[in-house]
Amino acid sequence: MTSTLTSLKPTRVADLLRGGDAVLVDIREPDEFARRHVQGARSAPLSALEQTGLKLIPGKQVVFTCRSGMRTAANCDKLSAIVDGEAYVLEGGVDGWAAAGLPVVEDRKAPLEIIRQVQIAAGLLVLLGVGLGVAVAPGFLAIAAFVGAGLTFAGATGNCAMAKLLGLAPWNRPRAA
């Protein structure tokens, strides 16, 4: 049985969680979840959800969240299809939860999310290419063109070579316990 996702304000979700009536499911990737998440949320990455499914306690309401609520809204059909009965979405996501003054778990030692690392690296490479192209030789503009082509390819195919390369960087390796 499928249903639509009903939006709930952070304070309402907090009440449901405190009462033990709901489970909060964070659909972001593990690197995003590790950096910042709602206290007590379960990590269930959207990328693996169809393969792994949701193992839920019967009788608990399900509230989905992401960082801002946009990813959850964009995937509401997929998410509601894996839940029997009513499903909800945390209005404003983790950002909305924090803005409401509710507790989040934040690990500043965890690496930045891979997508943010890609954005920073791509931006710096474009700036470098344009700067060198203007100041030194126009041939350096090829750096910016190469990065633009790579981002276009990544967007079209879902395969980002820069993300894979950054994933191998020492700061993105799991820390020893």
- Active-site residue, selected from the candidate residues 66, 87, 147, 166: 66
Read off the amino acid at residue 36: R
Can you tell me the distance from the alpha carbon of 59 to that of 20, in angstroms, rounded to the nearest whole number?
10
Can you tell me the distance from the alpha carbon of 5 to that of 14, in angstroms, rounded to the nearest whole number?
17
Distances in Å between the Cα of 2 and the Cα atoms of 19, 55, 77, 148 are 25, 17, 8, 40
CB–CB of 148/129 below 8 Å?
no
The verdict on whether 66 is a catalytic residue reads: yes
- Point out the residues that are catalytic: 66
